[in-house]
Amino acid sequence: MSRSPHMRLMLLLRPGGYHRASWRIPGSPAEQAADLEPYVDMARAAERAKFDAVFMADSPTLLGDPWDYLAQPLEPLTLLSAVAALTERIGLVATVSTTYYEPLNLARLLGSLDRVSKGRVGWNVVTTADPRAPLLFGGTAQVDHALRYQRAAEFVQTVCELWDGWEDDAVVVDRAAGILTDPEKIHRIEHHGRFFDVSGPFNIPRSAQGRPVLAHAGQSPDGLSVAPRYAEVLFGVAHDLADARRVYADVKSRVRQVGRDPEHLSVLPGLLPVIGSTDEEARRLDEELRLLGGADTIADDLALQLGLDRARMDPTRRIPVDTVNHPDAINGPQSWYRQIYADVERGASFEDLVDKYSRIGRSGHLQVIGSPETVADVVEEWFTARGCDGFVVQGTTVPGSTDAFMEHVVPLLQRRGLFRTEYEGRTLRDHLGLPLPANRFADAPNPVTHESAFQGVALPSRSAR
Ligand SMILES: Cc1cc2nc3c(=O)[nH]c(=O)nc-3n(C[C@H](O)[C@H](O)[C@H](O)COP(=O)(O)O)c2cc1C
């Protein structure tokens, strides 16, 4: 498949905004951050702008910081089920952890949402890096990094097997002949692996797009060892084009090496726009935000990421490495934090870090401050230079920068032939130019069918469950 001339655009559903001061701006939906309305407003605005999808993150850092909590408190699948009913074309990407769910129940949740949304669902596969995760998701202590990804790889495989259980023409509904389904086309799953035992035919037919689109956000060698095998979207963090082009080329090459078409995986870093009618006005807005968020918004962010108490440190002295969070304990964009951690190892003081990182977007994302033309120029440069296949627009402020991007930058991208002016299809796979995934059973010789599904199978006794 040749590269699409159109970039992919997704919108992070985070009514609290990505900037710490977003909620303080008059008109922000801060009072409704835990209600449905602002999410639906954002999703409908993204649909009007012909975005590929909206994206819901989900991470325990929400527990650590009231501001973060208010940014996006709701559970993604619950919320996107309601958004699905109130939208028609926009894709719906939910973040769900493979460490704190089981394959069969998540296959049912995502499979059901993909059916009711008529094939618009994506699943952002995360393993949840934050050690506080058990506080949010329950369960026992945090799982080892490499083990999390080994479990995630088997988890994704098992869920995809379940979703393939019904061939696309398994449902017949021949009322005259009294035939509801073709049992030859409903298959049993016998998955007995290192982490999961799953038996029995699944109970939901495939959706209009076959199965949900699979996204991935891992940045580490473990993460990048798994993603190329199945991911169709890779969320990332980049603020330097040369670095982004290196990662892009590496990811596409890994996809090619496992025998997949590199165009079947879209690399989407985050974008933090601050948009004014002119560059000067945008810079003024950014300065206002910085002051509104507390003059030291970046300093507060850095202290939170590092796990340091600013009231009890000498910002001019080097930071002892053993007093800061180790990268493996960080949730969210880890590659960004590894850079900060390396600076601390090299002897940086807190002042050094604030000075260096205050010019980069929060969490290391690409921040563009300027007029719509300036933002469109940077977006176009990154796309045409193959630094990415598009972006996840993470509204610095809501509704401010998200609306400004959709109302003033998207039309420029459309005029430049870089973004769709109409949806060509109805499913998320249609939007992303992805083929309908083949059904592993439809092409397999002698697949186990529904009729033989329960013959001689000793179902686990109640007591054994
Ligand atoms: C754009 C982006 C969004 C992310 N969203 C989440 C999230 O919602 N929940 C979560 O647990 N982790 C999230 N992560 C963290 C990743 O899943 C991953 O743990 C992190 O990038 C570290 O990479 P690694 O797991 O390969 O070490 C996100 C990462 C990125 C880059």
ipTM of the complex: 0.96
Pocket around ligand 1 at a 6 A CB cut-off: 57-59, 95, 97, 126-129, 217-220, 222-223, 235-237, 270, 331-334
**258's tokens:** 């496992």
278 is in an annotated binding site: no
CA-CA-CA-CA torsion sign (379, 385, 389, 391): negative
Domain contains 289? no
Q: Model pTM?
A: 0.89
Asked whether residue 95 is marked as a ligand-binding residue, the answer is: yes
CA of 107 to the centre of ligand 1 (A): 21
Ligand 1: which residue has its CA nearest to atom 14?
332
Query: The domain spanning residue 232 has which CATH number?
Result: 3.20.20.30
pLDDT at 218: 80
Separation in Å, CA 273 to CA 256, 276, 361, 399: 32, 10, 9, 12
The token pair at 275 is: 């948009």
Quick one: pLDDT at residue 449?
Answer: 56
Is residue 292 within 8 A of residue 299, CB to CB? The reply is no
Distance CA 22, CA 232 (A): 31
Q: Decide if 227 is inside a domain.
A: yes
Q: What are phi and psi of 12, to 5 degrees?
A: -70, 125
What is residue 455's predicted lDDT score, i.e. its pLDDT?
44
Residue 465 in any domain: the answer is: no
Going from the Cα of 123 to the center of ligand 1, the distance in angstroms, rounded, reads 13
Q: How many domains does the chain have?
A: 1
Distance 218 CA to ligand 1 centre (A): 5
> Can you give the length of the chain in residues?
465
pLDDT at 3: 85
Instruction: Please give the number of the atom of ligand 1 that sits closest to the Cα of 365.
Output: 1
Spatial distance between the Cα atoms of 244 and 219, rounded to a whole number of angstroms: 12
Pocket probe for ligand 1: among 56, 59, 74, 330, the residue whose CB has the most ligand atoms within 8 Å is 59
Task: Tell whether 335 is covered by a domain.
Answer: no
Cα separation of 231 and 22, whole Å? 32
Best CA proximity match to 219, nearest among 177, 260, 270:
270
What number of other Cβ atoms are within 10 A of residue 8's Cβ?
A: 24
Closest atom, ligand 1, to C-alpha of 95? 8
pLDDT tens-digit readout, 70-113: 777 889 999 999 999 999 999 999 999 998 899 999 999 999 99
* Ligand 1 atom 25, closest CA: 218
Question: For position 401, what pLDDT does the model report?
Answer: 93
DSSP string for residues in 13-24: --TT-SSTTGGG
What is the per-residue DSSP string for 302-335?
HHHHHT--GGGS-TTSBPPGGGS--GGG--S-HH
Residue 13 located in a structural domain: yes
Tokens of 90: 């926009």
Indicate whether 109 belongs to any domain.
yes
418, two tokens: 């870089």
Whole-number mean pLDDT of the chain?
88
Which residue minimizes the CA distance to atom 5 of ligand 1?
57
Atom of ligand 1 nearest to the CA of 269: 1
125 within a domain of the structure (yes/no) = yes
Over its C-alpha atoms, the chain yields an Rg (Å, rounded) of 23
Domain extent at residue 78: 8-273+368-432
Of 150, 58, 159, 50, the residue nearest 103 (C-alpha): 159
Q: Would you say 149 is a known binding-site residue?
A: yes
List of the chain residues with pLDDT < 70: 1, 60-69, 131-132, 135-137, 139-142, 294-296, 330-335, 359-361, 444-465
354 belongs to a structural domain = no
Q: In sequence order, what E strands does 338-457 have?
A: 366-370, 390-393
33: left (phi over 0), alpha (psi -120 to 50) or beta: alpha
User: In this structure, what token pair is assigned to residue 57?
Assistant: 């993150």
Do the beta carbons of residue 102 and residue 137 sit within 8 Å? Answer: no
Measured from the Cα of 235, ligand 1's closest atom is 1
For a mutational test of ligand 1's pocket, the pick from 14, 69, 95, 226, i.e. the residue with the most ligand atoms closer than 8 A to its C-beta, is 95
**In DSSP terms, which residues pair with 266 in a beta bridge?**
233
Closest CA to 349 of 358, 360, 340: 340
What pLDDT digit, counting tens, does each position of 422-448 carry? 999 999 999 999 999 999 888 766 555
At 206-249, the pLDDT tens digits run 999 999 999 998 878 888 888 899 999 999 988 899 999 999 99
331 CA to middle of ligand 1, Å? Answer: 6
| 404: three-class secondary structure by DSSP | helix
